[in-house]
Every structure is written in structure tokens, then in C-alpha cells.
Amino acid sequence: MADDRILLIEDAQAPRSFLSRTLSKIGSVVHARTLLEGSVQLATMAPKAIVIDWKLPDGTALDGIAELHDVQDHVPILVISPDLPIDRVVTIMRAGAYDVLPHPVQEDDLQLAVLRAIRAASSEVKRASEKIESPKEPSQDEDGFSVPLGTPLRVAEDKLIDATLAFCNGSIPACAQVLGISASTLYRKLDARKNAK
């Protein structure tokens, strides 16, 4: 794992030094001090994980999750937050974070969380690519996915999402990859659909 790159987005010097030193034991660390710097770094590299501080000069990690997933949606994001009210944790996780860790975080806890995230993302991408490489050709009768001309776009999109979710055995990250959108975008679409009903 020594050559796995980890993107660390942290603006404060002391935490950045500690986090960088801790993460360098499991991979090479690339630094960014803002969400914008993080997005630029992410566009030019393929990290195995992203560790991001809750509060940055140009926004919060919540803002960053969607932004970063728009650049590369398969990279797990771990958020470090000084206080962890349950509603914040739920919101962060629903936005697409892999994990939320307390600040200050213990060295072992951070390393284990990042290694777990890397393994989980690697397994998810492998499973999704196996399904993409050898997809079963669905017939119109078999999966019931057909959209007559004149169907409202929202209805057609819902049918496509449902068919793809069924194809991916309910795995939202795999479904998002097949659809070519970020997992956080798919979660938002599913939440919006649920709230509309």
C-alpha cells in the first residue's frame, strides 16, 4: 500500500502535519488547503482515498463531497469533524462520505478507517466492472424496461434508475457507475423521488 496516494484536504498547519505524518505510513500524501485546490489535485491524479477536514476556507466538507465526487465519484471520502452531532454525521454520510471521524483522531483509528475505505472502494469498483464487462443482454420483455414516446423525462429517468438498480442488485455505487453519475447524485435523485411520493 506504500504507493497508494491519499489526498489530504486540510488548511490548518498543526492538524495537517499530524494527519500527513499518520497517513504517510500507509501511502503517499498529496496536500490541498482548500476545496478548490483539492478539486484541482483530484483532476490530475487518482488517489485511493480522500481525507478532508470539516471546515475549510472555501466551504465545508459537505460542500466538498459533491464537488469532489463530480470529479471522481469512486474515491472514498473520509471527513474529520471536531464535533459529531448525529444529524451532521447522517447528513455527511447521505451526501456520499465513506466515514466520519472525530477530531482529534487517533493515529491507528485514522489508518484503519482509510485502509478499510480503500479496500471497500476497490472491491466495489471490481464488482461493478465485472458486471459491466459481461452484462446480460436484457430483452424488453425480460426486464420490462421500455419507455413509449411522449413519456415525461422524469418518469423515463426513474424507470432507467430502477432497471439499473435491479441489474446492480441494489448497489447504489455500482448503479451510479453504470449510469455514469456520482453516487451522491444518485442518492439525491432517490431521496428526491422518495420525498415526492
The pLDDT score that the predictor gives to residue 150 is 74
pLDDT digits (tens, 9 = 90+) for 56-114: 999 999 989 988 988 888 899 999 988 778 888 889 999 999 999 998 899 999 999 99
Same-domain pairing of 81 and 168: no
Q: Which of 126, 146, 169 is the last residue of a domain?
A: 126
Q: Which of 126, 152, 172 is the last residue of a domain?
A: 126
The torsion defined by the Cα of 52, 113, 130 and 132, in degrees rounded to 10, comes to: -30
> Above 80 in pLDDT, residue 31?
yes
Distance CA 47, CA 75 (A): 7
Structural domain of 147 = 135-196
Q: What is the CATH number of the domain that holds 167?
A: 1.10.10
Q: Which of 73, 96, 126 is the last residue of a domain?
A: 126
Same-domain pairing of 43 and 122: yes
- Band (pLDDT 50/70/90 cuts) for residue 10 is very high
Same-domain pairing of 13 and 85: yes
> Above 50 in pLDDT, residue 115?
yes
Same-domain pairing of 59 and 109: yes
> Above 70 in pLDDT, residue 197?
no
Same-domain pairing of 82 and 120: yes
Q: What are phi and psi of 53, to 5 degrees?
A: -75, 150
Distance CA 71, CA 174 (A): 17
Q: What is the CATH number of the domain that holds 60?
A: 3.40.50.2300
Distance CA 146, CA 104 (A): 52
Same-domain pairing of 121 and 187: no
Q: Give the count of domains, the chain.
A: 2
Q: Is the pTM of this model over 0.85?
A: no
CA neighbours closer than 13 Å in the CB half-sphere of residue 152 = 3
